[in-house]
Amino acid sequence: IYVYHCSRERYWSINFSDYCYCRPHCTWAVKKQFIANGSMLAFVCLVYIANFYFKQRSISMDYPFIRNHLNDLLAPISILAYSGILLNILKINSISSPAITLCICALCGIVWEYFSPLLNPQSVTDYIDLLCYFCGGFGYCAIINVVVRK
């Protein structure tokens, strides 16, 4: 992890890989990431609200993935997008490293799947949820890397 100061653009940046984001259009790259993170967070919120109302319908029993695992797929995207927005406000690049994403998803999985059942007896550990956390996290990572590379 490299932390450096972009003297041309006058802001601090965190580089999680060997790829240097310090280009003449550094500020524009952070703005693009901010727009992408905001769009992803808005999309996740809309899908979560739609899923909330979908679960209240009796038809939801016919779609077990949507009923049981869709929110687990959306959770890491929302956490990474929100943290990306906070980093972008500070003019720091979003988290785009697969290694950092893996660590964040593993931490979320440990907290939600292993500590949560200790606090809430109705909560159950499910390994498909762990897979959904990692898929959502790497989906975010892929999207933000496409935005950064353009």
Of residues 43 and 6, more confidence is placed in 43
Q: Is 26's pLDDT higher than 80?
A: no
pLDDT of amino acid 96: 85
CB 26 within 8 A of CB 80: no
Can you give the pTM of this predicted structure?
0.78
Q: SS3 of 10, please?
A: coil
pLDDT of amino acid 92: 82
Residue 106 to residue 91: CA distance in whole angstroms: 26
Nearest to 105 by CA among 82, 76, 83: 76
Please compute the mean of the pLDDT values over residues 89-112 and round it to a whole number. Answer: 89
Residue with tokens 């319908």: 57
Q: Looking only at Cα atoms, what is the longest distance across the chain?
A: 58
What's the sign of the alpha-carbon dihedral 97, 17, 144, 84?
positive
Nearest to 67 by CA among 132, 135, 116: 132
Q: What is the pLDDT of residues 41-60, one digit of tens each?
A: 999 999 999 988 888 877 76
Residue 125 to residue 117: CA distance in whole angstroms: 7
Q: What is the pLDDT of residues 96-106, one digit of tens each?
A: 888 999 999 99
